[in-house]
Amino acid sequence: MMKMSAYFIKLFGYDKATNLKLIELLKIAKECDEAIGLMAHLLVAQQIWLKRCKGENTVGGSLWPDWDIMEMEAIVLRNNTDWVNFLNTLNEQDFVKSVSYKNSRGTAFANRLEDVLAHVINHGTHHRAQIGQHLKLCGHNLPSTDYIFYIREQDA
C-alpha cells in the first residue's frame, strides 16, 4: 500500500507536469489574458495553501497576482519543490491532523490535512479546465492533461 506522502507527491508531480504543459502553450497565446490570470491564481493559491498547512498567516495577500507568463515556469517548479519538501516531513498520522487557518477574508476554519491537500490538487484541475476553455476560445489546440495520460507516460 502506498503511503499518503508518496501518493500526494505523485499527484503534485501530475500537477507540475500539466501546469508546465499549459504554460508552454500560454507563452505563445499571449492574447489570452484571462487564461494567464487563471494560471497565476492557481499558482499563488498553491503557495497560500502551503503556508496555511505550515501554520503561517496568509490573510491579506493577493489571490489574483499580475504575474508575467515567462516567470511562471520557475514558480511551478518552486511550488512543486516546496510541496514535495513539506510532504516528505510528514508521517502517516499527520494527514488526519487538523489544519487551522483563516481564509482571505479572515474567517477561521479547520480541516484535515488530507482534505486540504485534495483541495489543492482539485483546485488546480478546476482552473486548468478553465484555462483550457479560454485557450480553445483563443483558437489553440490543447495538450492532453488527463491524469491517466500522465500516469501512462510515467509508466512507459
Residue type, 29: A
Q: Which of 130, 135, 117 is nearest to 24 (CA)?
A: 135
- Enumerate the H helices of the chain as residue ranges: 4-28, 33-53, 69-87, 113-137, 147-155
127 annotated as ligand-binding? yes
- CA 135, distance to chain mean position in Å, is 19
Contact 10, 147 (CB under 8 A): no
Q: Which three cell numbers stand for residue 149?
A: 495520460
41 annotated as ligand-binding? yes
Q: Which residues are annotated as a binding site for a divalent metal cation?
A: 41, 123, 127
Q: Which residues are annotated as a binding site?
A: 41, 123, 127
